[in-house]
Amino acid sequence: MGKDLQLLKEIKACTICQDLPLGPNPILQFSAKAKILVAGQAPGQITHHKDRPFDDASGDRLRQWLGVNRDTFYDPDKLAVVPMGFCYPGKGKSGDLAPKAICAQTWRKKILNVLPNIELTLVIGKYAMDWHLPERKEKNLTETVGNWQHYIEQDNPVLPLPHPSPRNNIWLKKNPWFEEELLKELQSKIAMVLEK
Ligand code: SF4
159 phi, psi to nearest 5 deg: -125, 115
User: Which CATH fold topology does 3-195 show?
Assistant: Uracil-DNA Glycosylase, subunit E (3.40.470)
d(CA 189, CA 196): 11
Please choose, from the candidates 100, 114, 91, the residue with its C-alpha nearest in 3D space to the C-alpha of residue 8: 114
Q: What's residue 156's pLDDT?
A: 85
Which of 7, 8, 11, 14 has the most ligand 1 atoms within 8 A of CB, as the residue to mutate? Answer: 14
pLDDT, averaged in runs of 10, over the chain (196 residues)? 96 97 98 98 95 96 97 98 98 92 98 98 95 90 94 90 92 96 96 93
Task: Name the closest-CA residue to atom 1, ligand 1.
Answer: 87
Angle between the N-to-C axes of helices 57-66 and 183-195, in degrees from 0 to 180, rounded to the nearest 10: 80
DSSP secondary structure letters along 94-143? TEEPPPPHHHIIIIIHHHHHT-TT--EEEEEHHHHHHHH-TT---SSHHH
d(CA 18, CA 7): 21
Q: Which residues of 168-186 are buried (b: 16+ CB within 10 A; e: fewer)?
A: beeeeeebeebeeebbeeb
Could you state, in order of their start, the residue ranges of all structural domains in the chain?
3-195
Residues with beta carbon inside 6 Å of ligand 1? 11, 14-17, 24, 26, 85-87, 100, 102-103, 106
Residue 90, Ramachandran bin (φ over 0: left; ψ between -120 and 50: alpha; else beta): left
Q: What's residue 137's pLDDT?
A: 85
Please choose, from the candidates 79, 84, 113, 83, the residue with its C-alpha nearest in 3D space to the C-alpha of residue 190: 79
38 phi, psi to nearest 5 deg: -100, 110
d(CA 115, CA 34): 7
d(CA 74, CA 94): 29
3-state secondary structure at position 157: coil
Task: Name the closest-CA residue to atom 3, ligand 1.
Answer: 103
